[in-house]
Amino acid sequence: MKAADLRNMTATELKAHHDTLIDELVNLRVKLSLRQLDNPLRVRALRRDIARVNTVLRQKEGAGTPAVPAAKVETKVKPKVKR
């Protein structure tokens, strides 16, 4: 599924789609281990689909909150002593 199609879905639809993709991935991994899988490249495609869904979910969750820059942390560095 394309990312543009995923962006048109709601967050609950995306979570439901994510769950079905995970279930399908588990089934494919079982078939792969039993050497019954016809197309092993389907596992790679499914993992990438899951990553797309996760990315769009993160974007939707992050859209509601403004981005806050991280505070600058100063650390004291001790000089090395030669012995």
What would the DSSP string read from start to end of 44-57? HHHHHHHHHHHHHH
pLDDT at position 73: 59
Reported pTM: 0.72
d(CA 57, CA 61): 6
What six digits make up the tokens of 47?
């993992």
The residue behind tokens 């709601």 is 10
Average of pLDDT values for 16-39? 95
What are the residue boundaries of the structural domains of the chain, listed by start? Answer: 3-63
Choosing among 1.10.287.310, 3.40.50.720, 3.40.50.300, 3.40.718.10, the CATH entry for 3-63 is: 1.10.287.310
**Residues 31-74: pLDDT tens digits?**
999 999 999 999 999 999 999 999 999 999 887 654 455 555 56
d(CA 81, CA 25): 55
